Amino acid sequence: MKKYLFLLVTVFALNRASAQTTPTIVIIHFTEDYPSYAATWAIEDCYHRVVFFDKENETLRSLVYDRAGYVICRDWKMSSNYPKRISDYYTSVYPNESYAVWSSIDDSGTQKYYIIRNSEKIWFDRNGKIKNCVVG
């Protein structure tokens, strides 16, 4: 009973924090998987992105949910262990800029990487080959 009450209180608090735009089922699914995590919610097209700091792995993470509360994409900020081709590309095209590489796994298990630059994403495949080119 206490767990249920805690879940309802958390859902209410998160729902208010998400400006009443994220469906309750989405917030419930996140809260069940990540209780006591502070999160920031955003709407992307018809999906709901939550960004939070993963205390266990000490990294920034992001999940994208559909309206029914299913995770369709899992992202996390990489500290290392990404293909060298990504850093080779970025440092050659944008030599004086710092960057962060994110890994993304969609609901079919496909892994890709991206770098956010000026609010755009530069995408790479699982081997580090560029998938789109952003001309800066």
Burial class (CB in 10 A: 0-12, 13-18, 19+), 26: buried
% of the chain exceeding 70 in pLDDT: 82
More confident residue, 119 or 104: 104
Please compute, for residue 21, the number of CA atoms within 13 A of its CA located in the half-sphere on the CB side: 14
Using the predicted structure, report yes or no on whether residue 42 has a pLDDT greater than 90. yes
Cα separation, 44 vs 61, whole angstroms: 16
What is the model's pLDDT at position 1?
40
pLDDT at residue 134, as a whole number: 56
| pLDDT value at residue 128 | 96
Predicted TM-score (pTM) of this structure: 0.76
